[in-house]
Structure 1
Amino acid sequence: MPAKIRLQRFGKKGAPFYHIVVSDSRAPRDGRYIEKLGIYNPLTKPATIDIDFERSVYWVKVGAQPTDTAKAILSYKGVLYRHHLNVGVVKGAMTQEQADAKFDKWLSEKQAKIEQKSKSVETDSIEMRKAQIEAEKKVRAERDKALQAKRQAEMKAEAKTEDVAEVEEVVADVEEAPVAEETVAVAEETPVAEVEETPAVEDAPVAEEPVAEVEETPAAEEPATEEPKTEE
């Protein structure tokens, strides 16, 4: 039966993790598997790889073909290198002790590199976090500045509105003032008309009395003038 070492995807969208499994190469990708060898989580830094080392070496020995990603994982963990050393021991190129010494040396060097990378990643994470905090402070400061500018603009707008209201009140007072003056003017004109009418009524009888006296005086003298004419 042709076997394959591959990854089986789990997790939600955008946050996947994988099981490292041995399955029949003819089975569907998410179908049943023969054996689970470990897990692989690419979201952590560095990536988390936890596998059963001895069982992985066994499946490689019996001819299970890893996929590209699975092969990279097995190489990273030293499974392929250990299989290579075991083949050398079988062929007589080296003893088991020599193979074990070489693998231990490689494993210690690999572990040192992993630790160094982990420290580097941790340092980068700290620096990244500091940069993120500074960026957040900057954004917060800009937001506060924009909010303060908006408040000042609103205060200016309110002050301008109050000034306009005061001007409108003054204009309304100015427009009402002539109406009051016209009322006063009308009130002042009314007594003047009454004063002019009163002397007109008093002058009429004064003018009539002298005229009557002048007309009556010649009427009394007419008989005296006619008497001398009769004597002639």
Structure 2
Amino acid sequence: MATKIRLQRHGKKGKPFYHVVVADSRAPRDGKFIERLGSYNPNTNPATIVLNFDSALDWLNKGAQPTDTARAILSYKGVLYKKHLQGGVKKGAFDEAKAEELFAKWSESKETQIEGKKSGLANAKDEAKKAAFAAEVKKKEERAAAIAAKNAPVEEAPAEEETTEEVVAEAAAEEAPAAESAENAEETTEG
């Protein structure tokens, strides 16, 4: 029987959640399976992967073929690297102790890499919150200044509004020279 290590989709629409299973290659995607190895949740950042390491390694050694996505998950968790190191021990390239040392070194570097990504995401989230808060404070201050300017009593400058008497006097003063110039013009034309 040809066995595959593959994903079974669960979860609601738009929020997938997968079980990593060993199943007969002829079985439907979400159908009958032989053993459940773990779960994969791509909705979190970074994706959450829970895997039974020993069982997955055992099934790989028995000949189960992982699908592309399952291969990526097994590689991420180090199952494929462990299988590779076991192959080196069988061939005599190095002993079991050296293989364990290499795997421990790889696991440690992988953990620091994951922690670095998590802390980077947390820092980016904090920076985004601070920037949003600063922008909100600035907008609030601008809004308060606009409201204060709108609600402030309008101060009238000493208006140079002329009273009606002054307007009439100015109009008469303007008409008088115009009238005199008109009279002078008439005298010159008559004479």
Cα offset, 1:138, TM superposition: 7.7
Q: Deviations over 1:167-199 (max 9, x none)?
A: xxxxxxxxxxxxxxxxxxxxxxxxxxxxxxxxx
CA distance in 1, matches of 2:2, 2:142: 63
Query: Which amino acid in structure 1 is aligned with residue 80 of structure 2?
Result: L
Structure 1 residues 11 and 144, CA gap change in structure 2 (3 angstroms): farther
What's the secondary structure of 1:56's corresponding residue? Answer: helix
Whole-Å separation in 2 of the counterparts to 1:107 and 1:27: 34
Residue 117 of structure 1 pairs with residue 120 of structure 2: no
- The one-character-per-residue Cα deviations of 1:151-173 (angstroms, maximum 9, x if unpaired) are xxxxxxxxxxxxxxxxxxxxxxx
Structure 1 spans left out of the alignment, 5+ residues: 146-232
Whole-Å separation in 1 of the counterparts to 2:50 and 2:96: 26
Identity, in percent, stands at 55
- In the TM superposition, what whole-angstrom CA distance separates every residue of 1:112-168 from its partner, at most 9, and x where no partner exists? 1111111101111222333455566788899999xxxxxxxxxxxxxxxxxxxxxxx
Match of 2:2 in 1: 2
**How far apart are 1:8 and its partner, in Å?**
0.9
Consecutive unaligned residues in structure 2, runs of 5 or more: 146-191
- d(CA) in 2 for partners of 1:16, 1:98: 40
Instruction: Choose between structure 1 and 2: higher helix proportion.
Output: 1
Paired position in structure 2 for 1:85 = 85
- CA distances 1:10-46 after superposition (whole Å, capped 9, x unpaired): 1111211111111111111111111110111111111
Counterpart CA distance in 1 for 2:19 and 2:143 is 45
Q: Secondary structure at the match of 2:10?
A: strand
Larger Rg: 1
Structure scoring higher RCO (CA < 8 A, sep ≥ 6) equals 2
Distance 1:77 1:109 in 2: 12
Alignment of 1:21-170 (within 5 A): 21-133=21-133
TM-score for both structures, normalised by structure 1: 0.58
Distance in 2 (alpha carbons) for counterparts of 1:52 and 1:139: 52
Give RMSD over aligned pairs: 2.7
TM-score after normalising by structure 2 = 0.69
**Residue 43 of structure 2: SS of its match in structure 1?**
coil
How many pairs are equivalent? 151
**Residues 65-123 of structure 1: CA distance to partner in whole angstroms, max 9, x if unpaired?**
11111111100110000000011111211110010011011111111111111110111
Could you tell me which residue of structure 2 aligns to residue 157 of structure 1?
A: none
Quickly say closer, same or farther: Cα 1:96–1:11, change in 2 above 3 A.
same
Corresponding residue number in structure 2 for 1:193: none
Residue 108 of structure 1 aligns with an amino acid whose one-letter code is E
- 1: CA distance between counterparts of 2:139 and 2:4? 51
